Structure 1
């Protein structure tokens, strides 16, 4: 099996939760379980004019990066439905090379 990961540009995530819903529907997960879950930090103010509001999609242990869809030539369902286009699933080595391009990115790797 190929070594996949998920690169998330959380500077662009709007917190719409579409990735969560699409994943739940694709994998028939119950309402209290998630393959990916959006968490929110803020909003709060710091300094004179600065604000923090971060939406961060986080893959859970139930995420398998939709390897079945990838094998069929399709995008993973969270990536396909992401309105902000802030999720990218691919080979871990390729995604790792993109990390230095932007400041607010994280790379998730599931070795399971």
Structure 2
């Protein structure tokens, strides 16, 4: 069984928001709702300054704190490591939103449920890439099986010495090149 994960190379991200727009389209989200947030960080000292764009979304944590606090078990981790929300079971209590250390969940006004990045599980089941990966114009995103040493994502993590955004918060399945 695969254990899916992603690499985000912030040195390649140009902040075009194509990933966010494709995610919104794939998930039929209203314009004001998004599973991907962007943070900007200025690095260096004038005149040698550069701007780093850091896309942040659900990190699909190994031991997902959002799943452990969900009173209805609506949030769960699949066998292949994707953290999902069962909308039939979600009561909209927002405990998972509070527990998420990445602030990666949104409360849908339309459904009353808490939603988040699903790694486009329906596309992955068909052997396709998540929408954010397939539309990234700078190829800053790589998706695949973290347990397969020959996968593009595993090779890139080693090549770039990629690390989780916050290794102090436990094992995340999104790695960053910064």
**TM-score tier (shorter):** 0.7 to 0.9
- CA distance in structure 2 between the aligned counterparts of 1:93 and 1:54, rounded to whole angstroms: 29
Is the contact made by 1:7 and 1:87 (CA closer than 8 Å) also made in structure 2?
yes
Higher strand share: 1
TM-score by length of 2: 0.52
Q: CA deviation at 1:32?
A: 2.8
Partner residue of 1:79 out of 129, 133, 138: 133
Instruction: Please list the CA deviations of residues 61-111 of structure 1 after superposition, one character each: whole Å capped at 9, or x if unmatched.
Output: 4111112101112221001110001101111234345323126x445527x
- CA distance in structure 2 between the aligned counterparts of 1:98 and 1:58, rounded to whole angstroms: 19
Question: In angstroms, what is the RMSD of aligned CA positions?
Answer: 2.4
1:93 is matched with 147
Instruction: Please list the CA deviations of residues 17-50 of structure 1 after superposition, one character each: whole Å capped at 9, or x if unmatched.
Output: 00001001100112232222222223x651x642
**Residues 1-112 of structure 1 correspond to what in structure 2 (within 5 A)?**
2-42=2-42, 45-46=44-45, 49-60=47-58, 61=104, 62-94=116-148, 95-102=153-160, 105-107=162-164, 108-109=172-173
Structure 1 residue ranges without an equivalent (≥5): none
Structure 2 residue ranges without an equivalent (≥5): 59-103, 105-115, 165-171
Deviates more, 1:52-61 or 1:4-13: 52-61
State the structure with bigger RCO (CA 8 A, min sep 6), 1 or 2: 1
Compared CA separation, residues 102 and 2, structure 1 to 2 (3 A): closer
TM-score by length of 1: 0.78
Q: 4+ runs of 1 displaced by more than 4 Å?
A: 105-108
Between the two proteins, the alignment pairs up a number of residues equal to 107
Is the contact made by 2:22 and 2:135 (CA closer than 8 Å) also made in structure 1?
yes
